[in-house]
Structure 1
Amino acid sequence: MLQFEIFRAVVDAGSFTKAGDKLGLSQSAVSHAIKGLEAELNLTLLHRGRSGISLTSEGEAMMAYVRQILHLTEKMKQEAGRLNGMEVGTLRIGTFPSVSASLLPSILEKFHSAYPGIHVEFHEGGYTELKQMVSSNIIDISFLTSNDSANLDFIPLFQDHLQVILPGNHPLQTKKQLSVRDIASYPFIMPKDGCDDLIKQLFAKHHLQPKVYCEIADNQAIIAMVQKNLGLSIVPELVAHGNHDGLSRVRLKEQCFRTVGLALQNLPQVSPAVAAFINLTKSVVGGHIIHEGRK
């Protein structure tokens, strides 16, 4: 089993050295374990070159089995711990930036307090990357939107409504609500790799073309550019949540939202750690954390 764990760590880290650092093993020990696994399977699993390592086609096929085996082994350990009256194991969570900033700290604080024996790893990425990681057993569960979780089991948590953000001194900032028609003539900062599809559909539905000043993926960069009066933007409430000097938020007249939830491969067969995380996350999201942004 250790060979499988080392193989997974090497592939995920992209190098023998980084994998060794994570596992507390020397580079030579990692290399020896991989060579032993290749000899046992009579297959070359990794391409080794100056630019790093990569999976061979045979390695890709074997890695799918390795991830399944390790996933089931972890599930078995957690179930054994539960039967012994202990919550133990490792939980791998996927998350995207706005959840990382607004929700994850409170969830992890409560989770660590309730289940100190469960080690949590989390991976941040875009929707497509997170979906792939769940599908490939790289992570156990991930925050995702309903639109990006096809072919996965999805647990809806809340609706994250879009809203207009604009500089604090902007003439439109006194309005109680704004339509896309109201902002179509102003320079617009288009989010990328997130809600851009929803926003573009919203403008198209009203036969409008936004005056896109630039497209930016990083949420904090979007907020900073709006604060500097470089344009307006439309973002989910979770992104604009909190106090931002020089920034105004106005309700979007057109009802438009993303449904944020948890995506996983097989809800009926979750491990004890995943089940605990789901239940705790539901309780946290149902509390004041989301509603503070909806006052």
Structure 2
Amino acid sequence: MKIRHQLRQLQIFQEVVRTGSLSKAARRLELSQPAVSTAIANLEQEVGFLLFRRNRLGTELTPEAHYLVEGVEKVMASVKHLDELSDGLRQGRAGKLILGCMPGLSPTTMPEIMANYLHDFPDSNLSLQTFSSTRIRDWVAEGQFDIGVIEVQDDLHELEISSFAMRMHLAVPANSPLNGKPVITASDLDRIPLITLDEHHQSTLKLKNALRAVQAKCHVVIETHLFPSAITLVNAGVGHALVDPVSAYNFLMRRDCGLSIVPFEPGINLDIALITSRFHPLSRQCKHFLPYLVDGLEKWQTRALQPLSVNTAAC
């Protein structure tokens, strides 16, 4: 026989089992004893067998009811879990938030932002995924990722975008003739060995345009795919590199750092985009997390406008 009893009847049954008495269960549940008796009688009618017998010691479970108790406990535990899950979803604490992040910000900046969020929402479940900006763009548009932080690129029409501009700085090796200059200009880089990202990367195109504007010769000795690779090559004395402020600050913190980070003129920004899907609704947790993400990116945007050092970047 299929059981279709109400949860309230199961709750009353569970309380009678725990207290061993209809009257005690009634007091615990703030019900009248007749109401408890009626609920048990209705449940017995639905399951098709007696649940309790009276003896000289009070109320005892029938053999069949002993087997039913375990199932009722599981059902009520599931209901409790469902209530907690509903509360968590309503308050933006439950569910998994998947954040896709470009490699430059993924190792340090994004974990710091996530840690700040988890301090206030400790029951949240977050996932940080590091991929190329193009892949993150596609997966956010498809709804596979909730949020993305990428380098600005074309074809973002399916996305909601918040833009950030990270002022870039020049990483100068210890053996450079430019060492000691408080500011380095495009003219200073005439025929100076440079390490750049891929030729189509926004930072490379902007740097070449700045050099072309002052008729300085661009002398690229190495191309690489990531800013951390470029700055490591600078530290090895291979050349100079225009790098984002996060990579620059992280390298300044290293014990083996032997380079300098110097402001570059004209100012060149690395354009960053915080993206969400235009066609997939945001979860409550995503809405709660976004202000933390925006705040963290805005702080780096502000820091990057100052001469970058360990002290200024840490403030």
Shorter-chain-normalised TM-score: which range? 0.5 to 0.7
Matched, 1:168 2:174: yes
Matched, 1:218 2:226: yes
1:278 deviation in Å? 0.6
Q: 2:303 aligns with which of 279, 291, 294?
A: 291
Q: 1:263 aligns with which of 257, 275, 297?
A: 275
Q: Which residue of 2 aligns with 1:119?
A: 125
1:84 deviation in Å? 4.9
Whole-Å Cα distance in 1 between the matches of residues 220 and 149 of structure 2? 29
1:164 deviation in Å? 1.1
Whole-Å Cα distance in 1 between the matches of residues 300 and 193 of structure 2? 34
Q: Which residue of 1 aligns with 2:183?
A: 177
Which of these two proteins has the greater Rg computed from alpha carbons?
A: 2
1:91 deviation in Å? 0.7
Equivalent runs, 1:61-210 vs 2, <5 Å: 80-81=86-87, 84-85=90-91, 87-148=93-154, 150-151=156-157, 152-156=159-163, 158-192=164-198, 195-210=203-218
Question: Using a 3 Å threshold, how does the CA distance of structure 1 residues 147 and 178 change in structure 2: closer, same or farther?
Answer: same
Whole-Å Cα distance in 2 between the matches of residues 291 and 149 of structure 1? 29
Unaligned runs of 5+ in 2: 1-82, 307-311
Q: 1:279 aligns with which of 291, 297, 303?
A: 291
Q: Which residue of 2 aligns with 1:63?
A: none
Aligned length: 218
Give 1:284's aligned amino acid. Answer: G
Describe the SS at the equivalent of 1:195.
helix
Whole-Å Cα distance in 2 between the matches of residues 288 and 213 of structure 1? 29
Give 2:181's aligned amino acid. Answer: K
Whole-Å Cα distance in 2 between the matches of residues 127 and 162 of structure 1? 18
Asked whether the equivalents of residues 134 and 265 of structure 1 are also in contact (C-alpha less than 8 Å), the reply is yes
**Residue-by-residue CA offset, 1:72-117 (whole Å, 9 max, x unaligned):** xxxxx99944575462001110111221134112111112222233
Whole-Å Cα distance in 1 between the matches of residues 84 and 215 of structure 2? 54
Asked whether the equivalents of residues 97 and 146 of structure 2 are also in contact (C-alpha less than 8 Å), the reply is yes
Whole-Å Cα distance in 1 between the matches of residues 225 and 120 of structure 2? 35
Describe the SS at the equivalent of 1:93.
strand
1:154 deviation in Å? 0.9
Q: Which residue of 2 aligns with 1:38?
A: none
Matched, 1:235 2:240: no
**Residue-by-residue CA offset, 1:156-211 (whole Å, 9 max, x unaligned):** 3x421121111124221211111222113111111135633333333344454421
Whole-Å Cα distance in 1 between the matches of residues 248 and 84 of structure 2? 38
Describe the SS at the equivalent of 2:172.
strand
* Backbone CA RMSD of aligned residues: 3.0
Give 2:160's aligned amino acid. Answer: D
Asked whether the equivalents of residues 173 and 240 of structure 2 are also in contact (C-alpha less than 8 Å), the reply is yes
Describe the SS at the equivalent of 1:241.
helix
Unaligned runs of 5+ in 1: 1-76
Give 1:256's aligned amino acid. Answer: I
Matched, 1:250 2:262: yes
Describe the SS at the equivalent of 1:97.
coil
